[in-house]
Structure 1
Amino acid sequence: MDKKLMSKKKPAYPINKQLSDYLTEHSRNIKIPIYYEDLLRFQGAVEIYDKHGNETLWISTYFAEHEREEIEMSLKRVYTILHADGSDEALQYITIDAIDFCTFGNTKPFRIKVRNILNDNYVYLYIKKADASRIYGLELEHLLSPNHINFLVHGDTIIEEHISGIPGDTFINENLDSCSDQDKMAIAKEFVKFNERCFIRLLGDMRSYNYVFVLTHDFDRIDYRIRAIDFDQQSFEGNSKVYKPQFLKENNELVEMTLNLLQEESMEQYKNEERSLLAKRASSEYDRLSSLLDCMKNDTLSTPAKIKELKVELFSLTKDVRFRRAKNMGDIVSSALDFVKRNYENINPYIIR
């Protein structure tokens, strides 16, 4: 099914001046001491396997001795820029344990393991080739989801903070069956809300390995949240099903569980809850969101054929003439958010106006 829904390879779109200015205004666009291309100079690598001995599509790289020290110092500076104030004070206490390279996907990221030598605490960060689609996806996630996103851009390089959680495919294969009935009910609810959130803001390709499960222990239960970790397919495809995780075969087990556990009325309730929450977030971030959408409207993020296909499908679904008038993906995303705000922001009769 996925091959029919999505293109084999999405092209990378450059960052134009308007988007670059937006990133500068919101402290995303900064000077960095190393670029993606610098890390491509690794001399060799070894395969990385998971705990079961399976290939992970990641390789551990190593660099020539005359370059390694400079590269590691630059990466330590990147860490302080992303997580602190960029000063040199903490450099003496951190070290680079690993520079891994992913051989799969569009962005082919580097994963950097940064460890504090005083207590062995460590974090990961990612360095990738910048793509306008991904930046729009990250910003929309930051503004419209319950999740904070930390990333920086300079030129054609993007640096992202690691999003912690259990990979969706791992959770489905290794953890889902052992969950209690009540936990499965909570997971089903979260999947419905995640599915709706992706569809409204047009984030595509949420196959199980492109999101994580975040588990939080509350005083009487475990709280489950699903977070996207891949944003390359923001507003690119023309088939509207791409933007609904329920139609991707890797999620079939979650879909079947949800259909078995939740009644139609409950699913509709959770969809309405997510629409209302998203409408509130869109209103509270109105100025910044409007500026971002203006960038999208003046950018090229897809092909004319895909734009036409998507706006026709969404007009057929909503009967909102704004979709039919849309000229690009920015117009379509803006129309989708306006539709949600008009129909779900003001349904609470207890709000004082």
Structure 2
Amino acid sequence: MEDTFIQFKKPSYPINKALFEYLERFDRISKVSICYDDLLRFSGAINVYDKEDNDTLWARVFYNEFERNEIDLNLKKIYSLLHSDGNSDILKFLNVDAIDYCTFGNSKPFRIKVRNILNDNYVHFYIKKADASRIYGLELEHILSPDKINFLVYEDTLIEEHIIGIPGDVFMDTLLKNCTETEKAQIAKEFVKFNERCMIRLLGDMRAYNYVIVPIHDFDQVVYKIRPIDFDQQCYEGNFKVYRPQFFKENYPMVRLVKEKLQESSIEQYKNEERAVLAKRILSAETRIKRILKILGQDNIAPEEHITQLKMDLYKYTNDLNFKNAKKMGNVLSAAFRFVTRNYKNTNLFKPGF
């Protein structure tokens, strides 16, 4: 179990023209003119505590009256764009209950709580500085996952919907011990699949607080799914282990569960199942995948030394020359997708390796 192999804070990469045009083509550009920097002009803040009076590392921010009215209106419009068709008729039924700011992590997001005053239902969404790596990660999650993601971009601002679930670290600390043995085995299976999915699509830094556990009630059982919630480390790090959640010490309870509950043959079966599912999704969305990979293959979202290290790690892992010949991170990801789909098409079985 590794202590840490992410040694430096990842820089933010700008959205290039080709990516912006792609986002426009797929209706990801916000029509509401609010920027991340607008929200930074708060006049005061108080710490936010959870039910056990622990500091959440979020601060509830406040604005002067004139700015708050304008900000509230734009935030309601963003809600409408994310969750309906942008219809302004619903704005009068919405209230912005809270704007919270977090200085923890790379993105330093604002978390917005919007409530429907007719029934008191509420949702959250986030406003962050736009980063090309994160946008690629969100788009790939939207295409390749059964769970679609709504997000919008306005100039250098990113707006993300909230992904519902129990943070992985909270689940392991408080709920995992109360699960039945059958449920623990099912969670172990899901972690194997999650590990495989992150590895193939090069989504890194899936420590316990960067994904959520989603319990789903199905007849007489509870089924658990795992979803990533942080896409900052899409195709950035050079160390291959960063893309495999099993190597983070924060995930040790999950790794131990896999060892206790699953035989080696079952682990291989679940890996193959996940590769097959991913291959089918890649092939079914082939045109859109090719479009985003072409843009990613020409973008600079990682240092040269990271690209060199990762492509050689993957070449040693798979013996596939496509990795060795990659020039950009987008080429490395393309090689991973080709490897998976080629094996699926040729044999429907996966050889040892990737």
TM-score, normalised to structure 2, is: 0.97
Report what 2:284 is aligned to.
284
In 2, the alpha carbon distance for the partners of 1:241 and 1:207 equals 12
Q: Is the 8 A contact 1:188 1:258 kept in 2?
A: yes
Q: Is the 8 A contact 1:33 1:77 kept in 2?
A: no
Deviations 1:259-297 (A, max 9, x none): 111011000000000000000000000000000000100
CA positional deviation for 1:4 = 4.2
1:115-152 deviations in Å (ceiling 9; x for gaps): 00111000001111000000000011111122111101
Please state if 1:77 is matched with 2:64.
no
Q: Which residue of 1 aligns with 2:30?
A: 30
Counting only pairs closer than 5 Å after superposition, residues 213-228 of structure 1 correspond to structure 2 as: 213-228=213-228
Q: Contact 1:272–1:344 (CA<8 Å) still a contact in 2?
A: no
Q: Is the 8 A contact 2:3 2:249 kept in 1?
A: no
Unaligned runs of 5+ in 2: 350-354
Distance 1:4 1:214, change over 3 A: closer
Alignment of 1:117-156 (within 5 A): 117-156=117-156
> 1:92 corresponds to which residue?
92
Give the number of aligned pairs: 349
* Cα pair 2:34 2:154 within 8 Å, conserved: no
* 8 Å contact kept, 2:33–2:154: no
- Displacement after TM superposition at 1:2 (Å): 5.9
Tell me, what secondary structure is at the counterpart of 2:107?
A: coil
Q: Secondary structure at the match of 2:31?
A: coil
2:74 alignment partner AA: S
Corresponding residue SS for 2:88: coil
Evaluate the alpha carbon distance shift between residue 117 and residue 263 of structure 1 in structure 2; reply closer, same or farther with a 3 A threshold: same
The code of the aligned residue for 2:55 comes to: E
Letter in 2 for 1:32: V
Matched, 1:101 2:101: yes
Q: Which amino acid aligns with 2:222?
A: I
What is the CA-CA distance between 1:154 and the residue it aligns to?
1.5
SS at match of 2:159: strand
Give me the whole-angstrom Cα distance separating, in 1, the residues matched to 2:264 and 2:309: 28
Deviation at 1:54, TM superposition (A): 1.1
CA distance in 2, matches of 1:162, 1:50: 18
Once the two structures are superposed, residues 23-56 of structure 1 have per-residue CA deviations (whole angstroms, 9 ceiling, x without a partner) of 0111112322311110000011100111111111
TM-score (norm 1): 0.97
* Distance in 1, Cα, partners of 2:194 & 2:345: 19
Match of 2:297 in 1: 297
Query: Are 2:307 and 2:327, in contact at CA under 8 Å, matched by a contact in 1?
Result: yes
Kept in 2, the 8 Å contact 1:33–1:78? The answer is no
- Once the two structures are TM-superposed, the CA of residue 221 in structure 1 deviates from its matched residue by 0.9
Instruction: State the percentage of identical aligned residues.
Output: 57
Q: 1:128 to 1:310 in 2, by over 3 A?
A: same
The question of whether the paired residues in 2 share the 8 Å contact of 1:134 and 1:234 is answered with yes
The 5-angstrom pairing of residues 155-234 of structure 1 reads: 155-234=155-234
Hey, what's the Cα distance between the residues in 1 that align with 2:144 and 2:171?
A: 25
CA distance in 2, matches of 1:33, 1:154: 7
